[in-house]
Structure 1
Amino acid sequence: MPTTEALLFGRRRVRAVGLVVGFAGAVTLALVAAFAAESADVTAASALTDRLLPLLVFYAPGPLAAAGAYARCGGPACLAVGVIPAVVLGGFVLLGTVVGVPGVNGGNPAIGDVTVSFAAIGLSSAFVGYCAGVTGVLGADLLGFGSDDGDGEGGDEDDGKSREDE
């Protein structure tokens, strides 16, 4: 039961927050760099961000969710990784519209559709990745590679309780 609880709700809150916040930072940095490169008309940086941004937005949530599940970060953190690109894009457009950044048009009704599409794609990718990570954990536990909670000490690293205290 500890493995199931760790996979569903997470045992490593610090690692889960690091996963979510780190990915949000990477997506934000890539989006700002892409906008700055496009505004400054820098072709080399624009070419790099044209390849990096789709990689982060569409392809990264699945493997990150799988890694998060394997690290026992919990389902909510792993699925949150999937909606981060949509939240960052929506926040970027909202902030750009409020501040009045040229080239950021929040009045376009299609931007809402794009944001919802990003969320649907990212969430489905994260769900598949989470399922793959859970399968990997359960398979490793079945074959004797893993431990119940994955920290090697039998206790929860966040609250200092040992398994005997539970």
Structure 2
Amino acid sequence: MPTTKALLVGRRRGLGVWLVIGFAAVVALGHLVAFAAESADVTAATALTDRLLPLLVFYAPAPLAAAGAYARCGGPACLAVGVVPAVVLGGLVLVGTAVGVPGVNGGDPAIGDVTLSFAAVGLTSAFLGYCAGVTAVLAADLLGFGSGDDD
């Protein structure tokens, strides 16, 4: 069962790590751009980030996890993609609070609830995407193409 092991553990773990790191960098950049646009009161940039940030936080983990499963990055990497938005938000709030950035309040108890909600939504989304990717891999193996199992 090389396909099952590749899907669960991951044959391309390095690619999975880069998937998680790359997504974290994109989400962090999106949050920083949104914060800068809001601080500078740039309406065009704020309108763009109001549409871009929910796309990154809520909708991107599912297709990324599906692509990671299809690329056989492994379940842990695919599910980690779902937790990335919550970790990035929590990290930015902690750093912003420690540095003293105005408008960032890490002492607000609602931030913890928002972070946990982001994690729950992202993890659910990534799990569904992972299941879709596994289904695509198994269907491709059943039809006889895309397997790549040479070992």
TM-score grouping bracket, smaller chain normalisation: over 0.9
Percent sequence identity is 80
Q: What's 2:56 paired with?
A: 56
Q: Is the 8 A contact 2:12 2:72 kept in 1?
A: yes
Write the letter of the residue equivalent to 1:68: G
* Corresponding residue SS for 1:27: helix
Write the letter of the residue equivalent to 1:61: P
* Corresponding residue SS for 2:22: helix
The two structures have a TM-score, normalised by structure 1, of: 0.89
Q: What's 2:15 paired with?
A: 15
The two structures have a TM-score, normalised by structure 2, of: 0.98
Q: Is the 8 A contact 2:137 2:147 kept in 1?
A: no
Q: What's 1:126 paired with?
A: 126
Write the letter of the residue equivalent to 2:120: A
Distance 1:57 1:110 in 2: 18
Distance 1:148 1:22 in 2: 25
Q: Post-superposition shift, 1:103?
A: 0.5
List aligned pairs for 1:28-67, cutoff 5 A.
28-67=28-67
* Corresponding residue SS for 1:102: coil
| CA RMSD across the alignment | 0.8
* Corresponding residue SS for 1:85: helix
Distance 2:33 2:105 in 1: 18
Distance 1:43 1:72 in 2: 42
Q: What's 1:157 paired with?
A: none
Write the letter of the residue equivalent to 2:5: E
The answer to whether structure 1 residue 73 and structure 2 residue 86 are counterparts is no
Write the letter of the residue equivalent to 1:21: I
Where in structure 1 are there 5+ consecutive unaligned residues?
155-162
Any idea what the Cα deviations from partners look like across 1:16-47, whole Å, max 9, x if unmatched?
Answer: 11110110000000000000000010111111
Q: What's 1:158 paired with?
A: none
Distance 1:13 1:135 in 2: 20
Q: What's 1:101 paired with?
A: 101
Where in structure 2 are there 5+ consecutive unaligned residues?
none
The structure in which a higher percent of residues are helix is: 2
Structure-2 change in CA distance of 1:148 and 1:3 (3 Å): farther
The size of the alignment, in residue pairs, is 151
Q: What's 1:160 paired with?
A: none
Q: Is the 8 A contact 1:70 1:136 kept in 2?
A: yes
Distance 2:35 2:26 in 1: 14
Distance 1:48 1:9 in 2: 38
Which structure is larger by alpha-carbon Rg, 1 or 2? Answer: 1
